[in-house]
A and B are shown apart, each in its own frame.
Chain A
Amino acid sequence: MNPASFLTPVLHDTLQVSLPLFRTELALAVTVVLVLLVRMLPGLRRLDSGVVALGGILFAAWYAWSDLRGLPGSPWMPDAVGPERVELFTGLLVFDPLTAFLRFLLTGFLVLFAVFTRITGIPDREDSADFNVLVLGATLGMCLMASANHLLAVFMAVEMASVPSYALAGLLKGRRTSSEAALKYAVYGAGAAGVMLYGISLLAGSLGTFHLPTAAARLAEMGIVGFPEGAALVLALGGLMVGVGLAFKLSAVPFHFWAPDVFEGASAEVGGFLSVASKAAAVALLVRVALGLSSPVALEADMVPAASVVLHHADEAAAETAEAGSSVTQASASQRRVAAQFASLKQDGDGQEGDASNSEKPATEAAATEIVAGATSAAVMSVDEQRIGLALPRYFIVALIAFMAAVTCTLGNLGAYGQTNIKRLLAYSTIAHAGYLMMGVAAAVALAGSNPSMAVSAVAAVAFYLATYVFMNVSAFLIVAVLRNRLRSEEIASYAGLVKTSPGLVVLMGVVLVSLIGLPPLAGFVGKFLIFASLVEASSLPAEGSILSALLIVGGVNTVLSLFYYLRVLKVMTFDPPPSDRPQQSVGLVSLSGAAITAFVVPIVIFGVFWSGLYTLAHLAGGIVS
Chain B
Amino acid sequence: MELVETDLGATLSTLLGLAWLIPLASFAAILFFGPKMGPHGRNSAWVATGAIGTSLALSLFAFGTWMVNHPPAVAHHGDHGDVHGEDHGEEHGKEHDDSHANNHSAEATNRVAARLVRFAEEQAAEGGHGDREHGDHEHDGHEHSDEGHGDEGHGDEGQHADSVEHGDTGHGEKIAYSGDWYALYRSPSLVLSIGWYIDSLTVLLFVVVTFIATCIHVYATGYMHDELHDVTDHEVTLAAGGHLHRPGRFPRFFQALSLFCFSMLGIVIAGNLAMVFIFWELVGICSWFLIGFYFERKSASTAANKAFIVNRVGDFGMLIGLMALWGALGTLHFGDTVSVDAEGHQVVEPGLFSLVRPAENGHALQVPDGMVVAAAASRVGNIASVVSPEDARAVIAEQVSGWRAMGMGNWLLVVAGLGIFCGCMGKSAQVPLHVWLPDAMEGPTPVSALVHSATMVAAGVYLTGRFYPVLTPDVLVVIAYIGAITLFIAATIALVCTDIKRVLAYSTVSQLGYMMLALGVGGWVAGLFHLVTHAFFKSLLFMCSGSVIHACHTNDMRRMGGLLKKMPYTGWTMLVGCLAIIGAGVPFVIGFSGYYSKDSILAQALLFRQINPSHAILWYAAAGGAALTAFYMFRLWFMTFIGEPRDQEVAAHVHESPSVMTTPLVVLSVMAVAAGWSLGSLGVVNLLEQARPLGTAAGMTGGGLLTAAVTVPAEAASHAEAIHVTATWTAFATAGLGVLLAAAFYVWRVVNPAVIATTLRPVYVFLENKWYFDEIYNWIFVKPAHGIAMLASANDRGIIDSILHLAAWLSRQLAAIDAWIDRFLVDGLINTLANVTWTMGLRLRHVQTGRLRQYVMFIVVGTVAIFLLASMMLSATVAIP
Contact = CB atoms under 8 A, between A and B. Distances in A.
A237 B873 CA distance: 13
Contact of B844 (A183, A195, A232, A415): A415
Interface string A382-404: 00000000001001100110011
Nearest to B852: A184
A interface bracket (residues with beta carbon within 8 Å of B): 35 or more
Interface string B856-881: 10110111011101110110011001
B881 A417 contact: no
A418 B878 contact: no
Contact of B841 (A261, A392, A403, A418): A418
Contacts of A417: 837-838, 841-842, 844
A191 B842 contact: no
B845 A195 contact: no
Given A415-B845, A418-B842, A244 B862 contact: yes
A523 B869 CA distance: 36
Contacts of A248: 859
Nearest to A261: B850
Contacts of A227: 878
B881 A414 contact: no
A30 B377 CA distance: 90
A255 B862 contact: yes
Interface in A234-281: 236-237, 240-241, 243-244, 248, 254-255, 257-258, 260-261
A49 B838 CA distance: 47
B855 interface: yes
A400 B866 CA distance: 8
B848 interface: yes
Given A195-B863, A400-B870, A415-B848, A188 B837 contact: no
A187 interface: yes
A195 B859 CA distance: 9
B845 A418 contact: yes
B837 A392 contact: no
B859 A414 contact: no
A232 B874 contact: yes
A81 interface: no
A411 interface: yes
A418 B850 CA distance: 16
B859 A188 contact: yes
Given A416-B841, A417-B841, A396 B848 contact: no
A576 to B, nearest CB: 19
A414 B844 contact: yes
Interface string A219-233: 000000001000011
B840 interface: yes
A372 interface: no
Contacts of B861: 254
A244 B865 CA distance: 12
Interface in A163-186: 183-184
Contacts of A157: none
A604 interface: no
B870 A184 contact: no
A191 B877 contact: no
A392 B844 contact: no
B interface bracket (residues with beta carbon within 8 Å of A): 20 to 34
A192 interface: yes
Interface in A573-598: none
Contacts of A413: 841
Contacts of A396: 870, 873-874, 877
Given A192-B859, A244-B862, A415-B845, A236 B852 contact: no
A415 B852 contact: no
A392 B878 contact: yes
B846 to A, nearest CB: 10
Nearest to B845: A418
Contacts of B865: 254
Contact of A561 (B837, B863, B874): B837
Contact of A395 (B848, B852, B871, B877): B877
Interface centre among A232, A254, A257, A395 (most CB of B within 10 A): A257
Contacts of A232: 874, 878
Nearest to B881: A392
B855 A258 contact: yes
B158 to A, nearest CB: 62
A207 B248 CA distance: 92
B873 A399 contact: yes
A444 to B, nearest CB: 20
Contacts of A254: 858, 861-862, 865-866
Contacts of A418: 841-842, 844-845
Contacts of A261: 848, 850
Given A416-B841, A417-B837, A418-B841, A257 B870 contact: no
A261 to B, nearest CB: 6
A461 to B, nearest CB: 25
Nearest to A235: B874
Contacts of B866: 240, 243, 254, 400, 403-404
A260 B848 CA distance: 9
Contacts of A400: 866, 870
A243 to B, nearest CB: 8
Contact of B855 (A188, A195, A416): A188
Given A392-B878, A411-B844, A403 B856 contact: no
Contacts of A415: 841, 844-845, 848
A300 to B, nearest CB: 30
B851 to A, nearest CB: 9
Interface in B746-762: none
A232 B834 CA distance: 43
A233 B855 CA distance: 26
Contacts of B856: 187-188, 191
B855 A184 contact: yes
Contacts of B850: 261
Interface string B821-840: 00000000000001001101
Interface string A34-78: 000000000000000000000000000000000000000000000
A204 to B, nearest CB: 19
The 10 A-B residue pairs whose C-beta atoms are closest, nearest first, are A417-B841, A254-B862, A414-B841, A257-B855, A418-B842, A415-B844, A191-B859, A191-B856, A418-B845, A184-B852
Given A187-B856, A561-B837, 19 more contacts: A188-B856, A195-B863, A232-B874, A240-B863, A240-B870, A243-B866, A244-B863, A257-B848, A258-B855, A261-B848, A392-B881, A396-B870, A396-B873, A399-B873, A403-B866, A414-B840, A415-B845, A415-B848, A417-B837
5 contacts: A257-B855, A392-B881, A399-B870, A399-B873, A411-B844
